[in-house]
Amino acid sequence: MKRFTLLTSVSLAVWLASLAPSFAQANKDAKKDAPKDAKKDAQPKKPNPVQAPDVAAPKFQDGEPSAGFIKTHEGYVATAKAGGVDVLFLGDSITAGWRGNGKEAWEKSFAAYKTANFGIGGDRTQHVLWRITNGELDGIKPKAVVLMIGTNNSGSDDADGIARGVTAIVKAIHAKSPATKVLLLAVFPRGEKPNPQREKLAKVNETIAKLHDGKSVHYLDIGAKFLTADGTLTKEIMPDFLHLSKAGYQIWADAITPKLAELTK
């Protein structure tokens, strides 16, 4: 009887040992499946609020004000409070790009001015309007503001709405600093070939061109300088057919330098 019990115990131990790899694999599989289940149980991201292009609003991400946007804005407010800005560039990532691909052209063309670059990637008209009304011109009275904005609105807003947004920005600048002259640039062309989005932006430009009065607002359309004779945008000028290369920024700098000199006398 003792021998039988011993043999039974040994057999049971062997059998349990044989199951160990299966248990281990099952544990691994359970852990592997856990993240998938967690994703299923995760709360869906909050939708961002619908924003009108001519009503001041901060940028949102996942239903909340974008932390990166707010942080960058606060840095610009601090720059404004420090004062000493004669020429302010205001806009989206294309303007922000003066710190990247445009750095060389910026240093060569605008070194004589006390400049500031308040460009934020992804900004739309309502975001720039919000930034102005929330401190980015408090503490400075620039001689000139170079404004180019609206391309990021073109996927969701109509031409009239975008033009209203640009108009609201110009008015907000003068509400903060009446003597500032705005060098209002036509929204740059985008896309390799002529396309509906370009056509929409052309309508925006046609409307905002009427803001030109030769005194406080000076409208300038330099878009054709980026294009070939048949209207093509090349990768040499805009590698992604939206953002400028070093050559593209030099074209921009050369195109506005004479006018900027006139406006800052």
Give catalytic residues, as residue numbers. Answer: 93, 240, 243
Q: What residue ranges in 14-82 does DSSP mark as E strands? A: 60-61, 64-65
Q: Is the dihedral of CA 236, 238, 240, 243 positive or negative?
A: positive
Percent of the chain as helix, strand, coil, to the nearest 5: 55, 10, 35
CA–CA distance, 214 with 208 (Å, rounded to integer)? 14
Residues in the chain: 265
Q: What residue ranges in the chain does DSSP mark as E strands? A: 60-61, 64-65, 87-91, 115-119, 144-148, 181-185, 217-220
Q: Are 141 and 180 in contact (CB under 8 A)?
A: yes
- How many contiguous H segments (helices) and E segments (strands) does the chain have? 8, 7
Q: Are 96 and 120 in contact (CB under 8 A)?
A: yes
CA–CA distance, 60 with 50 (Å, rounded to integer)? 10
Q: Are 149 and 187 in contact (CB under 8 A)?
A: yes
